[in-house]
Amino acid sequence: MKKIIELKNITKSFDGEQPVLDNIDLDIYSNEFLTLLGPSGCGKTPLLRLIGGFETPDSGDIIFLGDRINDVPPYKRNINTVFQKYALFPHLNVFDNVAFPLREKKVPKEEIEEKVHEMLALVALKGFEKRSVTRLSGGQQQRVAIARALISHPQVLLLDEPLGALDLKLRKDMQVELKKIQKQTGITFIFVTHDQEEALSMSDTVVVMSEGKIHQIGTPVDIYNEPENAFVADFIGESNILDGVMLEDYKVRFSGQTFQCLDKEFMKNEPVDVVVRPEDVDIVPVEKGQLTGVVTSVTFMGVHYEIIVDVNGFKWMIQTTDFVDVDERIGIELEPDAIHIMKKSEYSNLYGDYSSFSNELDELSELEEEDEDE
């Protein structure tokens, strides 16, 4: 795989404040669908703007196909951007919107015709040429914006939360559509979202960020199954995160019990964070349980139940298709591959206990009731 963009030690702050990007190192490969994922304010948009050339880093280098491009203006980079608000020209029809970049470059008329038709076919808008863009749905407008960004054949396309304004159904359709377009064109996509499901389902590579730093770079499966620390485990899906001690290779102790696991190469008796996904917990009869606990809440979610179980004061979230009742005592069993070991970090003990979970829900519904009373 060929490296197309290298970010080396990038730091950026605004107005002498705390850095919004702190020592960012990232390699991006050609043909890759890479997603920057993180909570609001973590620095995704500033990072994208640096790659696009709309900002310059305070320190560090941006390398494009081997050349340093820190000071190259956006229009001289072979990189295009699709923004969250599609910024189409309202007075132009679909054809003219898509043709715009080529007209600017004085491309011959016949060639423009051919390319616009090719692009509209790619985004499934054949036959919409003469339509006013103001009469299109949100999803159609977004496809016009993508066609316009792709028509000058950039090597890299930057997409900043391009599906944020769409409703859920349309958003799902566009996810599939975008992925297809990326595969067909072979253009490197750098996609920004704060939606973890969207990131996992679309990307070749996911970059998890918070507070201006990169926490983990990996395939969706790696990020989900082998989170680097408690922040990543908590941000990507639901997680029970427990305090543990790695007794020796393949043996970890937590919640007063010793469990077999698949992890090794920790120090003897090293304190660790143990993450167990809610769907990996097996419910068994009490006498067979490695742990036992009392069910404190049961929520029907459609395909499964989400239950909260109090095990010696620590509240686990478990997803199960078995029905259990509130106040029932149950046994819990964990297969070795259900247990993932993480190094201790500054995020240890911040996440992973669902004690406040049912309380929060109660408080929320109380608040709503109060609102209704007013």
Ligand X SMILES: Nc1ncnc2c1ncn2[C@@H]1O[C@H](COP(=O)(O)OP(=O)(O)OP(=O)(O)O)[C@@H](O)[C@H]1O
Taking the complex as a whole, how short is the minimal distance between the CB of residue 49 and Mg ion, in angstroms?
A: 9
Residue of 32, 37, 45, 232 interacting with Mg ion (CB under 5 A): 45
Taking the complex as a whole, how short is the minimal distance between the CB of residue 161 and Mg ion, in angstroms?
A: 6
Question: Binding partner of residue 40 among Mg ion, ligand X, none, CB under 5 to 8 Å per kind?
Answer: ligand X
Hunting for tokens 């989400």 — which residue is that? 306
- Using only C-alpha atoms, the chain has a radius of gyration, in whole angstroms, of 25
**Residues in contact with ligand X by the rule CB under 6 A:** 14, 20, 38, 40-46, 194
Nearer to ligand X, 140 or 175 (CB): 175
Question: Binding partner of residue 162 among ligand X, Mg ion, none, CB under 5 to 8 Å per kind?
Answer: none
Nearer to ligand X, 161 or 273 (CB): 161
Nearer to ligand X, 46 or 218 (CB): 46
Question: Binding partner of residue 46 among ligand X, Mg ion, none, CB under 5 to 8 Å per kind?
Answer: ligand X
Question: Binding partner of residue 186 among ligand X, Mg ion, none, CB under 5 to 8 Å per kind?
Answer: none
Nearer to Mg ion, 80 or 97 (CB): 80
Nearer to Mg ion, 38 or 101 (CB): 38
Question: Binding partner of residue 18 among ligand X, Mg ion, none, CB under 5 to 8 Å per kind?
Answer: none
Stretch that binds Mg ion, among 44-52, 173-181, 216-224, 344-352 (CB under 5 A): 44-52
Question: Binding partner of residue 43 among ligand X, Mg ion, none, CB under 5 to 8 Å per kind?
Answer: ligand X
Nearer to ligand X, 13 or 219 (CB): 13
Nearest-5° angle of CA 216, CA 222, CA 223? Answer: 45
Taking the complex as a whole, how short is the minimal distance between the CB of residue 45 and Mg ion, in angstroms?
A: 3
Which residues make up the interface to Mg ion (CB under 5 A)?
45
